[in-house]
Amino acid sequence: MSRTFVIARTLGAAVLVGSLHFDPARRRAERARRLREGLQRLGPAFIKLGQVISVRPDVFGPELVFEMERLQDSVPAWPARQIRDIIEADLGAPVDRLFAEFDDLPVASASIAQVHRAVLAQPYRPVVGEELPAGTVLAIKVVRPGAEGAILADIAAARPLVARLSRLRALRRYNLPALLDEFAASLCSECDLRQEARVADRFAFDFRDDPLMLVPRVVWPLTARRVMTAEFVDGWRLSELDEAARRGIDSRALAVHGANVFLRQVLEIGRFHADLHPANLFVTPQGRICYLDFGIIGRTDPSQRVAIAQVLAATVYGDADRALRYSAELGLVVPSEAQTRVKRRVSELMASTLSAPPRDIRAFAIGFLGIMAEERVAVPAGYGLLIKALVTVEGVARALHPDIDITEAAKPYATRLIAREMLRPARLAQRVPDAMRAALRVLAE
């Protein structure tokens, strides 16, 4: 049985079973669930495809995007001998000479890479942060043997199927061949761990003044295309916070700080972690938030940050008209003939999800993206990624402390940024003539 046939049968079954439901929302949810299960059965390349879908709310429906978050990126470990061969080939020396100790038993195994624990043999001064002394415990991330080739072979097998599907009227708007090309390029980039190491260093630099934020320090002499070496960070995943609470970690303060860290990325730094699911976060025994895996990054420029702050402020205060007006500056443009209807629907959604505590950002985001899809309003890639990231941050914050209200955390940030923008000399110079004219009109009355 050819691989193309297996792919077609698995994905086709998901679509057909989902179509048996008459209720559109249940049909979309069921189809998304079946597709997620099908991708898991098809293996690593398709699990990665599902993960890419989960960060493209500008293209896919909200039910599918949020279902794909549930994909478990866990696969059987690769034999240690072959992992050692890759390390030796890329770093040019036997593993036992490169590290004081190397543990053949992996601590994590995913579709593209697996992670082993090791011990630093010589002290090292990282690009950001204090020196790592000899004896520091390390995490060695290694691209699995043949991972890139196997994934590209699966993509090649899927390509004729995608070409056929893209001719179907219902799927034409997704531009599936372009998405497959983007996916292939993303995977190739993810297989070069030097990219991730550079972004990790950049995040460490951005938050060098934050004692509660931790990014593992990269050991560059022990990093290459298929090998990334960084300090090992021990801690609790968000599903293990009972133990953290028993150790006296203030989960509410940490949740508020985590929300602020994300808002600072978006509204001040202009570079944010866009794949912030629970597997990429730890809480350390010292009560710090540790970020991992910098494969997917979103960016915002200065004018976008002001517009985002305006949208956030308008959303917090339930002002649909203002939220949509500033959304247009971010590329989300509602056609004039649909504006009245869309404003009414968004306003109703705000009232039902955000008007009173506990505010439900996730329900608002899914509803908002659903309205845009039904009204055929194109959602720009960056806008969708930002909404998705905000929902994820709220989920993470609530995992730390269930009563956290992220909209309260957003208020001071958005207010400060808007006030700062309003007081810029250039902006004041623009507004003074209008203010003078208005004052003269009042005096003349």
Catalytic residue ranges: 275
Compute the distance between CA of residue 203 and CA of residue 214 in angstroms, rounded to an integer. 9
Question: How far is it, in rounded angstroms, from Cα 111 to Cα 44?
Answer: 5
- DSSP-assigned beta bridge partners for residue 108: 115
Cβ atoms of residues 201 and 128 within 8 Å = yes
CA 165 vs. chain centroid, Å, equals: 28
CB-based contacts of 131, cutoff 8 Å, min separation 6: 123, 124, 125
The answer, yes or no, to whether the previous bond of 106 is cis (omega within 30 of 0) is: no
Q: Which of 101, 88, 107, 105 has the alpha carbon at shortest distance from 135?
A: 101
**Beta-sheet pairing, 108-109 with 113-120:** antiparallel
325-334: which pairs have CB atoms within 8 A and are 24 or more residues apart? 327/383, 329/303, 329/304, 330/304, 330/380, 330/382, 330/383, 331/380, 331/382, 331/383, 332/372, 332/377, 332/378, 332/379, 332/380, 332/383, 333/377, 333/378, 334/375, 334/377
Angstrom distance (rounded) from CA 163 to CA 175: 10
- The letter for the amino acid at 88 is E
Which pairing describes strands 213-214 and 289-291: parallel, antiparallel, or unpaired? parallel
Looking up tokens 């976008």 gives 304
Calpha distance 57→307 (Å, rounded)? 19
Compute the 3-state secondary structure of the chain and give helix, strand, coil in percent, each to the nearest 5: 60, 10, 30
Alpha carbon distance 179, 252 (integer Å):
40
The pair of structure tokens assigned to 445 is 């009355």
